[in-house]
Structure 1
Amino acid sequence: MPSRQISSHAPFSTSPVFEALIVPYRSTTRRGVIWMAVAIVVLSLGVGMRFLLLGAWPVMLFSLLELPLLGVLLAINLRQTRASELILLDPRQITVTRTDPAGRQTGFSLPTAWLQINLEENRGASRVVLTTHGQGREIGGFLHEPEKASLCKALQRAVHDIRHPVFDNPQLRGL
């Protein structure tokens, strides 16, 4: 099923019952990555200079060749900061909007009437899968295992609350 653009201004939209913004885990900030890159460059050049002075010039060559590789890998790491997944559940549908590292948004919507949320285990890795009318879509792909289980339980609870609303009628409290 092809992905489609999701409009943020849907007509007759109801307020969300459940909302989750999922972003990949970031172990450091952009400033931290820059400091780490500077430290690795200084350390690499220091080791290369030490071996160059000892007469082992190929070590300096390899030290200089590893620096562009470091730059490429850190650029890929920093590029991942824009990736996210927004999950909105309202009484009529669940809408998932994904933003890739380039900033492009795609998404899909599934009706909540027959929606099933399952945590599927496969060879030690789990997936949160939304299924309705034969359509299965994975969400939360970059979450860790405990976070996937937590997301699955929270979504299941929210769908249950939609299907089984509790009405509080003050006139019936005494009965």
Structure 2
Amino acid sequence: MSDAVAQAVHFNATLVPHRSLSRRGFRWLIGVLLAANLLIGLPVFLLGAWPVIGFMGLDVALVVVLFRLNYKSGRLTETLKLTDSALIVTRLDPEGLVEETRLDAYWLRVDMDDPPEHESRLTLISRGNRLVVGRFLTPDERLEVAKALRAAVARIRTPTYDHRWE
């Protein structure tokens, strides 16, 4: 089938990392940390131990930097699109680089432990090519994606007949 002919999409999922702390929650957290540091640091400063304030500011700065890195890694997305002939995995990293991998749909095998363990990986295998997807998902979320993708692959492989025997 040529690329000019649109193929049916049998499965389409976009995987994104979960971030439990919103931007508003992040601001609240930093505000609480600053207030706590001020409550502890001000009396210590007044007692003459002024360097303590600087170190308390460093710990807040470190928390801000680490959360920013965490939010940046949260911009990673993976899109799985299953057509009649291929599974197209498009990975968009936090820097905006796009990586696309095509796996033959007919030979596609979806590997995942059931029940999942913490180290379980969702691996897509086709003609010797292996691709691990959804590393940032929880084991149960990976299993859910694996089951849905297996069902979609099974539907592609099952022939459909549109004639009647009457």
Calculate the TM-score normalised by the size of structure 2. Answer: 0.86
Distance 1:102 1:116, change over 3 A: same
Is 1:157 matched up with 2:151? yes
Query: In the TM superposition, what are the counterparts of 1:59-70 in structure 2 within 5 Å?
Result: 59-70=52-63
- How many Å apart are 1:44 and its aligned residue? 1.6
Total equivalences in the alignment: 163
With 40-49 and 127-136 compared, the bigger mean Cα shift is at: 40-49
Aligned partners of 2:86 and 2:105 also within 8 Å: yes
1:77–1:61: structure 2 CA closer, same or farther, 3 Å change rule? Answer: same
Aligned to 2:83: 90
- Say whether residues 1:131 and 2:125 are aligned partners: yes
Match of 2:144, as an amino acid?
Answer: S
* 1:165 Cα deviation after fit: 3.9
Q: Confirm whether residue 147 of structure 1 aligns to residue 150 of structure 2.
A: no
Q: Does 1:41 find its partner at 2:34?
A: yes
Shift of 1:24: 0.3
Runs of 4+ in 1 over 6 A off after TM superposition: none
Tell me the equivalent position of 1:76. 69
Q: Which moved more, 1:100-109 or 1:26-35?
A: 26-35
User: Cα gap change, 1:153/1:111 in structure 2, threshold over 3 Å: closer, same or farther?
Assistant: same
1:29 and 2:22 correspond: yes
Per the alignment, do residues 50 and 167 of structure 1 end up closer, same or farther by CA in structure 2, a change over 3 Å counting? farther
**Aligned positions of 1:81-120 closer than 5 A:** 81-120=74-113
Q: Which moved more, 1:117-126 or 1:158-167?
A: 117-126
3-state secondary structure, aligned to 2:9: coil
Please report how far the alpha carbon of residue 132 of structure 1 lies from its aligned counterpart in structure 2 after TM superposition.
1.1
Q: Do the aligned partners of 2:16 and 2:78 also contact (CA within 8 Å) in 1?
A: yes
User: TM-score w.r.t. structure 1 length?
Assistant: 0.82
Q: Report the alpha carbon displacement of residue 11 of structure 1 after superposing the two structures with TM.
A: 3.8
State how far apart, in whole Å, the 2-side matches of 1:68 and 1:45 are.
14
- Let me know the Cα RMSD of the aligned residues: 2.3
- AA aligned to 2:78 is E
Deviation, 1:103, is 1.9
